[in-house]
Amino acid sequence: MDMAVLLLVLLLAVVLAGLGFLVKALWWVAIALLVIWVFGFVFPTADSAGSHGRWYRW
């Protein structure tokens, strides 16, 4: 019984550590997408010059 509790706690620690890493990685992805989105405002693409220089439609 003691070994099962120890394995359960170890499994819980591994799962929580993995979730923590995943959440941190998702924050970095969100920051990278935000930077790319801001660059879309600052540096418009050449092929969208007729539509006010923006790559989005609204």
Domains of the chain by residue range? 2-51
Residue type, 14: V
Provide the whole-model pTM.
0.57
The answer to whether the CB of 39 falls within 8 A of the CB of 54 is: no
Any idea what DSSP says for residue 53? T
Highest mean pLDDT among 23-27, 42-46, 49-53: 23-27
CA nearest to 26, candidates 34, 37, 14, 38? 34
The answer to whether the CB of 9 falls within 8 A of the CB of 17 is: no
What CA–CA distance (Å, rounded) separates 1 from 18? 26
> Which residue spans within 1-58 are E strands per DSSP?
none
pLDDT at 57 over 80: no
pLDDT given at position 45: 64
